[in-house]
Amino acid sequence: MTRFLLLGVAAAILVSSSGCLFHTRKVDVHQSTAPLQTASLQELVDRVNSEAAKVQSLNATVDIDTSVGGEKKGKITDYQQISGYILLRRPSMIRMIGLFPLVRNKAFDMVSDGSEFKLSIPVKNKFYVGHNDVVRPGATGLDALRPQAIYDALLLHRIDSTSDIAVLESSSETVVDKKTKQLVHQPTYVVDVIHKDDADGRYYLNRKVIFDRSDLIPDTQIFYDKEGNVATEARYQEYKDFNGTRLPSIIEIKRPQEEYEIRLTIVKAELNRPLTDDQFALQQPSGSQLIDLDQQPVNAALPGTVSPSEAHGSQQH
């Protein structure tokens, strides 16, 4: 007992001395200095549904930047910016038209009704059709592009209490501090939307809506496939007023599995104007080649992948 007592006294003396057994280091904490707002899960869900209800249709002039590639391809290719138009009508209609620079010919024209899509590329004299949810295994780049991904990413969509379960989590993101102009960590709210599949009745993670806590405005949506993989990541920047409604003027859409990115910059937008069915009708041009993307993989040569010289040449002919 005496020996154990002496050992205890010796250990206590060492610990209380000038730091023989430990060393203290200062940790630099880079946290945002922005004042943070608080909200409950129900308040965030109500905010999503309120914003979703504000936009029933969209007619926008946009600039389109596209890049393709990543680890699978071993390189990234950035394509020349083109301009275009987007028509959107809830609950599921979208049409997107791209124009070549200078010559202003159509680079592509694609439309979707939420289930099937059509794509016309006049300069290639090809007309593609297929289902939104069918992508050939291993397809990468813009040949895997489906307009549904753009539709999902463009706007906030309602969280339906009859088929969705919302769960709140706290997280953080890296932002530029407005005072220090340095990258810092800032807390965020994340609303996980768990959706019930109508086909099999199972629940799966459908998307995450991430809120900037400095203003409680959603700055990111992440969509998942039924296997739990990230399907689409959409980031929203530079909110502006369009017809009395604030919308992000820059939408960055990433598809990590297919390795392509599309950046949409809204130049002008009209909201909630009537859009007719004819405005979403796309007919196969006479003499063009019909290609069913559900049956065969092809390089569809979508936004920006055809050079302006080709477009100019087709115009001359």
Q: Note whether residue 95 is domain-resident.
A: yes
Cα separation of 224 and 188, whole Å? 20
3-state secondary structure of 265: strand
Number of domain units in the chain: 1
Q: Note whether residue 69 is domain-resident.
A: yes
N-to-C CA span, the chain: 104
Residue identified by tokens 């023989």 is: 20
- DSSP structure class, residue 31: B
Please give the backbone phi and psi of residue 210, each rounded to the nearest 5 degrees, phi first: -105, 125
Residue 291 structural domain: 41-316
Res 202: pLDDT: 92
Q: Which are the contacts of 55, defined by CB distance < 8 A and separation ≥ 6? A: 90, 155, 245, 247, 271, 272
Q: Note whether residue 22 is domain-resident.
A: no
Q: Note whether residue 14 is domain-resident.
A: no
Q: Note whether residue 6 is domain-resident.
A: no
3-state secondary structure of 309: helix
pLDDT in tens, 134-150: 665 555 555 667 888 89
Q: Note whether residue 46 is domain-resident.
A: yes
pLDDT in tens, 211-238: 999 999 999 999 999 999 999 999 999 9
Q: Note whether residue 80 is domain-resident.
A: yes
Q: Residue ranges of the chain with pLDDT lower than 50?
A: 13-14, 298-309, 311-317
Do 253 and 264 contact (CB within 8 A), yes or no? Answer: yes
Q: Which are the contacts of 130, defined by CB distance < 8 A and separation ≥ 6? A: 116, 117, 146, 292, 293, 294
**In this structure, what CATH number is given to the domain that contains residue 68?**
2.50.20.10
pTM of the model: 0.81
